[in-house]
Amino acid sequence: MLFLIAAMPETVWTSTRRSAGVTCAAALAILGSSSALYIWGSFFLGVMNADPGPGGKHLYQVYPFTILLLFSVPLFLIASGIRTGIGLFQLKQWARRAALLWASVALCFCLYMIAFRPYETFFIPERFVSELERLKQFLALSLMVALFPISLWWIFFFRLPSVKRQFEEPPQPESAPH
């Protein structure tokens, strides 16, 4: 570490320092998107490797447009999450706005689950519900428990004046007239 201090000018250390909160948010965005990529990939491979139906056709042959959407939309969202994390590491202004957008959408999802599906969100009955329905309820509850505090943190954190200053462009030094 000491050899880097001597090799780098003072302005590099002072102008591009990220706070620990921004670094943590960037790492969380990348790790969360990577985890989503793994989960989505295993689900998508399961769908693609499913046995043919009664007509001898695979799902991608029967529903090509649906499979295309199932492939492209989550992949785009995951890629944008990873790119947002990289942009947060680089202190890009658009990445701060993208993080606020991600947090807003996640908070809306959580509030929707609390407001319109409170029974399914907070109580998973043992009887009268199939295994698949309980799994869907558990996944929705798990997403809500993970996303709600993170979205609140990001909404408040990325609006702080000290955090906004980190994402501002450094002032350009004026060149001397010739």
Two tokens, residue 20: 């620990």
Show pLDDT as tens, one digit a residue, over the chain (178 residues).
Answer: 444 454 444 444 444 578 999 999 999 999 999 999 999 888 888 888 888 878 888 777 888 898 888 888 999 999 999 999 999 999 999 999 999 999 999 999 888 888 877 666 556 566 666 777 777 777 878 888 889 999 999 999 999 999 999 998 776 777 656 6
Residue 37 included in any domain: yes
Same domain, 115 and 51: no
Point out the domain boundary residue: 90, 105, 123: 90
Residue 127 included in any domain: yes
Same domain, 36 and 96: no
Residue 120, pLDDT score? 60
Domain of 110 in residue numbering reads as 91-168
| Cβ atoms 66, 73 nearer than 8 A | no
Report the chain's terminal Cα–Cα distance, integer Å: 40
Domain count within the chain: 2
Residue 6 included in any domain: no
Same domain, 95 and 73: no
Residue 12 included in any domain: no
Residue 13 included in any domain: no
Same domain, 56 and 109: no
Point out the domain boundary residue: 34, 66, 90: 90
Residue 22, pLDDT score? 94
Same domain, 122 and 54: no
Residue 173 included in any domain: no
Residue 124 included in any domain: yes
Same domain, 125 and 63: no
Residue 177 included in any domain: no
Two tokens, residue 114: 């609390």
**Greatest CA separation found in the chain?**
84
Residue 60, pLDDT score? 78
Same domain, 99 and 85: no
- Sign (positive/negative) of CA torsion 146, 37, 81, 65? negative
Point out the domain boundary residue: 68, 90, 112: 90
